Amino acid sequence: MLLDPRTWPAWSGAGELDVSRSAGLSPDGRDEVGATRAFRAGRTVVRERIVGLTPRRRFAYETLESPQLPDHQATIDLHEIPGGGTRIRWQGTYSVRGMGLRSSERQVQRSMTRAATGLAEYASGRIVR
């Protein structure tokens, strides 16, 4: 699901995939390092590039264009849990533009938590958003 940007709107809150502003998308939904994905929510477009990938273990990306988080970089680590399930660790760094620091930190934390929860729910087959 991390490799297929077409699933992200269903679980991440990222907005619609904007194919016209994306590059290197794989037709089979298994994007590779270097693919650029653009997500649109209203007038806001966020473009990200995949910078690291270990299948089924790690997914890393960096923001190329964002009105509020211009230099966001994140890594999503997936760890199988004995007995079933997967622990998701989504961490990143960013600077903020256009908002107060405290409110933006809380907003980014809530957004990343929602995305990780959405990913887990989507993977388990539960309906999300």
Domains of the chain and CATH, by start: 8-123 (3.30.530.20)
* Predicted local confidence at residue 23, as pLDDT: 98
Residue 62 has φ and ψ, to the nearest 5°, of -135, 150
pLDDT, average across residues 8-33 = 95
Are residues 39 and 22 in contact, defined by beta-carbon separation less than 8 angstroms?
no
Mean pLDDT of 56-68: 92
For the chain, the average pLDDT equals 88
- Predicted confidence band of residue 26 (pLDDT cuts 50, 70, 90): very high
Buried b (16+ CB within 10 A) or exposed e, 34-71: ebbbbbbeeeebbbbbbeebeeeeebbbbbeebebbee
Question: Given a cut of 60, is residue 75 above it in pLDDT?
Answer: yes
Looking at residue 98, what is its pLDDT? 62
Give the tens place of pLDDT for each residue, 38-51: 999 999 999 999 99
